[in-house]
Amino acid sequence: MADADMKAAAEADLVYKLEDKPPFANALLSAVTHLLAIFVPMVTPALIVGGALKLPAETTAYLVSMAMVASGIGTFLQVSRFGPVGSGLLSIQSVNFSFVGVMISLGLGMREGGLSESAMLSTLLGVSFAGAFLICASAWALPYLKRVITPTVSGVVVLLIGLSLIDIGITDFGGGFGAKGTDAFGSVQNIGLAGFVLVIVLLFNCMRNPFLRMSGIAVGLVAGYIAALAMGMVDFSPLQNTPLFTLPVPFKYGFAFDWSAFLVAGTVYLLSVSGQPYEGDEFQKRLRGGVFADGLVSVIATALGSLPLTTFAQNNGVIQMTGVASRHVGRYIAVILVLAGLFPVVGRVFTTIPSPVLGGAMVLMFGLIAIAGVRIIMTHGINRREAVIAATSVGIGLGVAFEPEVFKALPEVFRNAIAAGGIMAVALNLILPRDEKDQVVRLEE
C-alpha cells in the first residue's frame, strides 16, 4: 500500500507522463535540459581515450561525432520500443565510462606490441563490437545473472571503474598524457587552470537549484575554456580544413579481432549488467528490452567508430526536476544528437579543450563514480561476508592497477583492474558460505 501511495505521489508531480505528447516548445526545452545533463559525459570518454592513446585530432573528433550519432540512434530505439528492443521509457543512451580505462590499457599494450594506429583502433572496436552481442544475449538471462552479479559485485565494479579513472583524470589535471616527461607536466599554469575549473564545478554543486547543480560540470568546462583562451593555451589547428558534413562509415578503421582483448572487453560488458530488482511482468519486459537495446546499440556504436553505450542515470534527476517523463521527448533528443554528430566541426571543437580543463572537471566526476559504487554496496546492505568480498576484490583490482606485471603469467583479463576485481568478486560470491545470522548494515536513503 505504501509503495502504491509513493508511486501515485510521484506521478502527481509529473507535468507530462510517459505517453503524453508535450507541445513542440515544451518538448524542445525539456530535450535541451536533458542534453545538458549528459552532453559532457557523452563526449568526454572519446576525448580521454584519444588523448591517452595520442590519436590525431581528426580521429578523436570522429570518435566524438560517432558517439553523438550512436547515442541519438540508441535513444530513439530505447524510447520507441520496437518489439523486444527498448525499454519504452525516457531512457537516454550515452558512452559507457566502464570502457575508458579498458580501451586505454589495451590500446597502449597494442602500441607497445608494434601495432599501427589503424590496426589498434580496428582491434579495439572489433572486440567491442563482438562483445556487445554478450549484452544482447544477457537480456534473456537477467534472472540468472542476478544470482551471480549481486549488488556487492556491481558496487565493486563501479567502485573500481571510478578509482581506475582517477589516475587518468589527475594526469589530465597536470597537463595530459602528451605533456608527461616534459617540464609542462604539473606546471603551475596547468594545475592553476585545472584547479580553477574544479572550484567552479564545486561551487555549482553547492547550489540548491537542481538545474544549476547538474550544469556545474558544463559551466566549469566553459569557464575553464575561456580562461585557457585568455592564457593562450587553446590550439585551433584541429579546426583547419574541417569538412562541412560527415557521414558515418561502418568499420572505418577496418575490423580485427584479438581473443585476449575480447576476454577483457567481454568480462567488463557482462559485469556492467546491473543487479537491480526484477519484479512484475511489465517491469521484466521493459528491463529486458532496455538491456537488449543497450547491447544492440553498442553493436551499432562500435561498428560506426564509437565506444560502447549504456543508459545514463543522470536523466532521472532531470525528470524529477522538470516533471517531464514523456518518452516522446526522447525523440527530440535523438534528432538533436544525430544532427550534431553529422557536423564534424562539433566534434573538432571539443578536441581543442586543453587537458587541464578536462582534468579539473573529471577528477570530481570520476571520484563521484567511485562513491556511487560504495553507495550501491551499502544501500543494499553489507555484512561480514559482503565486506570480505568487497575488500578482497577492491584490493586485487587496485593491486593490478598499481602493478599489472604481478599477473603477467596469467591471461590478459587478469591484468585489467576492473576485470580482475570483478572476477574476484563473482568468484568469492559463489564460493564463500553465507551466514544468515550476520548483522546487515544498510545505508538509509
Q: How far apart are CA 73 and CA 339, in angstroms?
A: 11
What pLDDT score was predicted for residue 10? Answer: 45
- Average pLDDT of span 225-229: 94
What pLDDT score was predicted for residue 1? Answer: 38
Q: What is the pLDDT of residues 345-398, one digit of tens each?
A: 888 888 889 999 999 988 888 888 888 888 888 877 788 888 999 999 999 999
- Percentage of the chain modeled with pLDDT above 90: 21
User: Mean pLDDT of all residues in the chain?
Assistant: 83
- Its pTM stands at 0.82
CA dist list (Å): 193 to 39, 48, 197, 321, 357: 22, 18, 6, 32, 7
Residue 310: φ, ψ to 5°:
-155, 170
Nearest to 390 by CA among 378, 402, 379, 401: 378
Q: How far apart are CA 48 and CA 257, in angstroms?
A: 23
What pLDDT score was predicted for residue 316? Answer: 63
Q: How far apart are CA 116 and CA 256, in angstroms?
A: 12
Q: What is the pLDDT of residues 72-116, one digit of tens each?
A: 998 898 888 777 777 777 778 888 888 888 888 889 888 888 888
Question: Residue 368 has which C-alpha cell?
Answer: 563521484
Q: What is the pLDDT of residues 261-308, one digit of tens each?
A: 888 888 888 777 654 444 555 556 667 777 888 888 889 999 998 888
Question: Residue 262 has which C-alpha cell?
Answer: 575480447
Residues 398 and 420 sit within 8 Å (Cβ to Cβ): no
